[in-house]
A and B are shown apart, each in its own frame.
Chain A
């Protein structure tokens, strides 16, 4: 196998995902197939080839720093799973 169950758990922790035992086993198996397939990229000599991040030339456009919208606090907070006054409420993060 290309990846161990411990590695799967490590990657899951990085990705903030809780996976069941069955899901972990399945990923070990799927990763094996998928990563083996991806090995074919190794057949290509890419020395000196520039990487492409975007197919079309894009550069960060600049514009004037001007307020164009109005305050939309209530609209933005309407989807909050938990709200207190004008804040998103989350579980305690400081001991």
Chain B
């Protein structure tokens, strides 16, 4: 057992008792990053100096008994779409390769105020657009369980950093599954909170009606601790919901007894990897054995969610990414005298092929003559998808499904065909359309030793129920404590 193996809650206990200093812990994590990251490529920027300074400040607070939270002195990584003052934030794109933000995202500020140590910025698909991390403009992160395989995307670096113990926890963002899919592929816990629960101020926008920030952690308890710090209203973010936040650690040990778990037949489809289906059904059986009640539910419009998502998300992306014009920040194509030509050349060089494809698709579905057929239609289908969930929640408290139909696939396996890649997200996307919270919990391994994830979907703002069920399940297993073979 090394220091970097610690969970947040285990580290917090040692830090608060002063059996361990934040300096030692941070140094151990930084050394471990250096020793392992040439194989995994989790980090785009390691903020060693700033981290050691934050650790020193945390140690002072811990010694004086003024530590502001259980996260005080704990090394955490942030997805590179989350802006950090004075520390390069690229969003995985060449167009922001040199961008040094003049301010902190609200979630970064909240973590700093809680005393957390920001060890660095982790890799992602460019502008969070992707399901495998292969769209990073720099280099794809590798799955620590098998470096020939993808970690999932887009928050791939967040998941690999946590799975390989290169940070005690990380923040990711989830627009169509971007926290849950990599969490599942890398064998860690990932939570997409309810839309509006966590502020996106200072988070690089992809699809604004879907984007949400959330924790990637080693276990459920850590997930609750991290959510406690980042959840809440932010006057700087117009979609942030003004609603009180509970202490998410408070009800963790209430058990699964009495919970009604909905099982949608639409999420157990032909063509799924049999081991995934078996592991997920076994996990549901386990919760049932602990006193939960299983009820069949129907989410009839599931099959239409991916199509609706890729219209809505790309439409919003084409609008959000209009700001990268080479004028105020970011890359500008050099030595061009004509403004329009400068825009064209800047964006041609600055954006990668998937980002261009999504901007093009989004511009197309919003363009004259196509708006009603695509965009408006998709928004109406979104209503149907959301209604499915709301009616299902009349008879259950949460819904259990697989996170993905397969375990992690190989690098290059799906890059030739964008549609095949988009279909990776079939079990995660509807949740974003409906704005619901959803948790990915490790629930086993396939025959190749690759992790499998159980998805628990909740009512709006009922993150606590998901964590309660996830915690109950976690107590019965050791899946989440197994370590990838990357060290050997």
User: Using a Cβ–Cβ cut-off of 8 Å, how many residues does chain A contribute to the interface with B?
Assistant: 50
Quote the shortest CB–CB distance from A28 to chain B (angstroms): 11
User: Using a Cβ–Cβ cut-off of 8 Å, how many residues does chain B contribute to the interface with A?
Assistant: 73
Also in contact, A53 and B379, with CB within 8 A (given A80-B328, A90-B339)? yes
Query: A63 to B327, alpha carbons, bound, how many Å?
Result: 30
The reply to whether A56 and B310 contact each other, CB–CB distance below 8 Å, is: no
User: Which residues of the partner chain A approach B360 to less than 8 Å between Cβ atoms?
Assistant: 8, 11-12, 15, 17, 27, 31
Also in contact, A52 and B383, with CB within 8 A (given A11-B367, A18-B348)? yes
User: Which residues of the partner chain A approach B348 to less than 8 Å between Cβ atoms?
Assistant: 17-19
- How many residue pairs, one in A and one in B, have C-beta atoms under 8 Å apart? 163
The reply to whether A18 and B418 contact each other, CB–CB distance below 8 Å, is: no
Also in contact, A81 and B326, with CB within 8 A (given A53-B209, A56-B194)? yes
Contact with B along A22-64 (1 / 0, CB 8 A): 0100110011011001101111101001111111101011010
The reply to whether B383 and A49 contact each other, CB–CB distance below 8 Å, is: yes
The A-contacting residues of B in range 270-309, CB under 8 angstroms, are 301, 303-304, 306-308
User: Which residues of the partner chain A approach B340 to less than 8 Å between Cβ atoms?
Assistant: 16
CB contact between B381 and one of A11, A41, A63, A81 (< 8 Å): that residue: A41
- B331 sits at the interface (CB 8 A): yes
Interface of A is mostly: loop
The reply to whether A79 and B342 contact each other, CB–CB distance below 8 Å, is: no
Contact with A along B373-389 (1 / 0, CB 8 A): 01011111111101000
Contact with A along B331-357 (1 / 0, CB 8 A): 110001111101111011001010011
Query: A41 to B383, alpha carbons, bound, how many Å?
Result: 13
The reply to whether A60 and B238 contact each other, CB–CB distance below 8 Å, is: yes
- A78 sits at the interface (CB 8 A): yes
The reply to whether B356 and A23 contact each other, CB–CB distance below 8 Å, is: yes
- A14 sits at the interface (CB 8 A): yes
The reply to whether A81 and B435 contact each other, CB–CB distance below 8 Å, is: no
Query: A11 to B356, alpha carbons, bound, how many Å?
Result: 11
- B19 sits at the interface (CB 8 A): no
Which of B357, B360, B383 is the most central at the interface, judged by chain A CB atoms within 10 Å of its CB?
B360
User: Which residues of the partner chain B approach A53 to less than 8 Å between Cβ atoms?
Assistant: 209, 379
Query: A53 to B235, alpha carbons, bound, how many Å?
Result: 21
User: Which residues of the partner chain A approach B318 to less than 8 Å between Cβ atoms?
Assistant: 15
The reply to whether B384 and A78 contact each other, CB–CB distance below 8 Å, is: no
The reply to whether A49 and B384 contact each other, CB–CB distance below 8 Å, is: yes
- B220 sits at the interface (CB 8 A): no
* Closest chain A residue to B431, Cβ basis: A55
The reply to whether B102 and A81 contact each other, CB–CB distance below 8 Å, is: no
User: Which residues of the partner chain B approach A43 to less than 8 Å between Cβ atoms?
Assistant: 304
Query: A60 to B237, alpha carbons, bound, how many Å?
Result: 10
The reply to whether B195 and A55 contact each other, CB–CB distance below 8 Å, is: yes
Also in contact, A18 and B345, with CB within 8 A (given A40-B307, A56-B460, A81-B332)? yes
Quote the shortest CB–CB distance from B355 to chain A (angstroms): 10
Contact with B along A1-21 (1 / 0, CB 8 A): 001000010011011111100
Query: A81 to B417, alpha carbons, bound, how many Å?
Result: 35
18 pairs from A and B in contact (CB 8 Å cutoff): A15-B363, A16-B340, A27-B357, A30-B419, A34-B419, A40-B303, A46-B377, A50-B383, A55-B460, A58-B238, A58-B241, A61-B238, A61-B242, A79-B98, A79-B329, A80-B327, A90-B327, A91-B337
Q: A residues bordering B, Cβ < 8 Å?
A: 3, 8, 11-12, 14-19, 23, 26-27, 30-31, 33-34, 37-38, 40-44, 46, 49-56, 58, 60-61, 63, 72, 75-76, 78-82, 88, 90-93
| 6 cross-chain pairs, A with B, having the tightest CB-CB distances, nearest first | A55-B435, A51-B379, A81-B332, A79-B329, A46-B380, A75-B102
Q: B residues bordering A, Cβ < 8 Å?
A: 98-100, 102, 194-196, 209, 235, 238-239, 241-242, 301, 303-304, 306-308, 310-311, 318, 322, 325-332, 336-340, 342-345, 347-348, 351, 353, 356-357, 359-361, 363-364, 367, 374, 376-384, 386, 417-419, 422, 432-436, 460
Can you name 11 extra interface pairs (CB under 8 A) apart from A11-B367, A56-B195, A92-B339?
A17-B347, A18-B347, A30-B418, A31-B364, A38-B311, A41-B308, A58-B239, A76-B328, A79-B102, A79-B328, A79-B330
